[in-house]
């Protein structure tokens, strides 16, 4: 594992903030590795009443990667959350894809032996459908997409999401509500239908 200096991370966050896509691609594996390491340690640590908390996890990762304490302004923290959200989204989608593959391929017997797994497999595909719907939504309305990403994949609250996106919490609440309705519609009306509004042309 390559070690990265906090300055480097800060630099990448800053670059990404200026719209440098490459910086994000460089950031992702770093963040992924760090999140993984911290999560492992937390899971293995036996502590009274301890639970793995998403927010705690991201915060700790942020503090580690950004070097020290809280000298960072919101700009950096906001970016970091956004990175985390996208990383999380990738992980989950990859996981769901792997699961769906397993169902079709070699893992089939194992799965058929277990009803619960079959159910989960079914849901994995729904989950992929959600991701697909989200991609479609992002094409129409990038802001709604990012709100869903931050709220659903990174577990941010309304306020935090508002800070990351630099919009008012009221706007987040309104947009979030409509984004949900659109996604719900995309899933409820099912795939393949030409009339569904989120289908890309």
Partner 1 sequence: MRHDRWRQIDELFAAALERVDADERAAFLAEACAGDDALRREVEKMLGFDRQAEDFIETSLFGVAARLLTGQLDAAESPSVAADAVNIAAKKDASRRSPIHTTSGSIDDARFIPGDVLAERYRIGGLLGRGGMGEVYRADDLKLKQPVALKFLPDTLSSDGVALARFYQEVSVARQISHRHVCRVYDVGEFEGQPFISMEFVRGEELASLLKRINRLPHDKAVEVARQLCGGLAAIHDKGVLHRDLKPANIMLDERGDVRITDFGIAALTESLTGAREAAVGTPAYMSPEQLAGRELTVASDIYSLGLVLYEVFTGKRAFEAANVVDMLRLRRSDTEPTNPSKLITDLDPLVERVILRCLERDAGARPASALQVAAALPGGDPLAAALAAGETPSPEMVAAAPKQGSLRPPVALALLASVVVSVTIAVLLSGRVSLHRFVPLTKSPDDLKSRASEIAKRAGYDAPPLDTVHGFNAEYEYFEYVRKQDASPDRWEKLKTGQPAAITFWYRQSPRYLEAYDYWRIDPGNPPNDLSGMLLVKLDTTGRLTYFEAAPPQVDETVNTDANVNTNSTTNVNANANANSLANSNANANSNVNTNAKVDANSNADAKAAPDWSQLFREAGLDLANFRATESRWTPPHHADARAAWEGTYPGRPELPLKVEAAAYRGKPVYFELIGSWQRPNRQTPFEPSVAQKTFATLLLTLYFGALLLGALLAWRNLQLGRGDRRGAFRLALFTFALRMLHWIFFAHHIPAEGEVAQVIAGLESAVYWASFMGMMYLALEPFLRRRWPEWIISWSRLLAGDFRDPLVGRDVLIGATFGLGVVVVNHAMVLVPPMFGRNPLSITTNSNLLYEHGLLGLSNFIPLLMNQTAASIMFPFIIVCVLLFFTMLLRRKRLGLAASWLLFYLAINLNFGDASLPSMLLGALLPTILLGVLTRFGLLALIATHFFTHILPFYPVTTDFSAWHATNYLLQLFVMAVLLLYAFHTSLAGQPLFRGRFLED
Of 14, 63, 117, 167, the residue at the interface with partner 1 (CB under 8 A) is 117
Nearer to partner 1 among residue 79 and residue 151 (C-beta): 151
Instruction: Find the helix packing angle between 115-140 and 169-188, rounded to 10°.
Output: 120
What DSSP element (H or E) covers 22? helix 21-44
- What is the Cα–Cα distance from 82 to 80, expressed in whole angstroms? 5
- Alpha-carbon distances, residue 63 vs 69, 120, 165 (angstroms): 6, 35, 20
Judging by beta carbons within 10 Å of its beta carbon (0-12, 13-18, 19+), is residue 147 exposed, middle or buried? buried
Examine residue 109 and tell whether it contacts partner 1 (CB under 8 A). Answer: no
Q: Which stretch binds partner 1 (CB under 8 A): 10-18, 20-28, 71-79, 152-160?
A: 152-160
State yes or no: residue 170 binds partner 1 (CB under 8 A).
Answer: no
Token reading at 133? 């719907």
> Which of 11, 29, 135, 140 contacts partner 1 by CB under 8 A?
140
CA distances from 81 to 59, 85, 98, 195 (A): 9, 6, 25, 35
Under rule CB under 8 A, how many of the chain's residues touch partner 1? 65
State which residue, 135 or 178, has the beta carbon closest to partner 1.
178
Binding site for partner 1 (CB under 8 A): 32, 35-36, 39-40, 43, 46, 48-55, 57-58, 88, 91-92, 95, 98-99, 102, 107, 110, 114, 116-117, 119-120, 123-124, 126-127, 129-130, 140-141, 148, 151-160, 174, 177-178, 180-185, 187-188, 197-199, 201
């Amino acid at each position: 594992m390559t070690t990265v200096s906090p300055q480097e991370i800060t630099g990448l966050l800053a670059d990404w903030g200026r719209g440098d896509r490459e910086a994000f691609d460089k950031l992702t594996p770093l963040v992924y590795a760090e999140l993984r390491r911290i999560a492992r340690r937390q899971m293995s640590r036996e502590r009274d009443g301890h639970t793995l908390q998403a927010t705690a996890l991201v915060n700790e990762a942020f503090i580690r990667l950004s070097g020290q304490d809280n000298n960072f302004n919101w700009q950096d923290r906001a970016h970091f959350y956004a990175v985390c959200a996208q990383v999380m989204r990738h992980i989950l989608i990859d996981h769901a894809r792997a699961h769906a593959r397993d169902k079709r391929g070699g893992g089939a017997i194992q799965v058929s032996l277990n009803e619960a797994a079959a159910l989960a497999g079914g849901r994995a595909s729904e989950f992929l459908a959600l991701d697909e719907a989200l991609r479609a939504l992002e094409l129409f309305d990038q802001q709604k997409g990012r709100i869903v990403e931050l709220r659903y994949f990174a577990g941010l609250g309304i306020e935090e999401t508002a800070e990351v996106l630099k919009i008012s919490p009221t706007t987040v609440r309104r947009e979030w509500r409509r984004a949900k309705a659109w996604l719900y519609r995309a899933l409820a009306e099912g795939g393949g239908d030409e009339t569904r509004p989120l289908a890309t042309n």
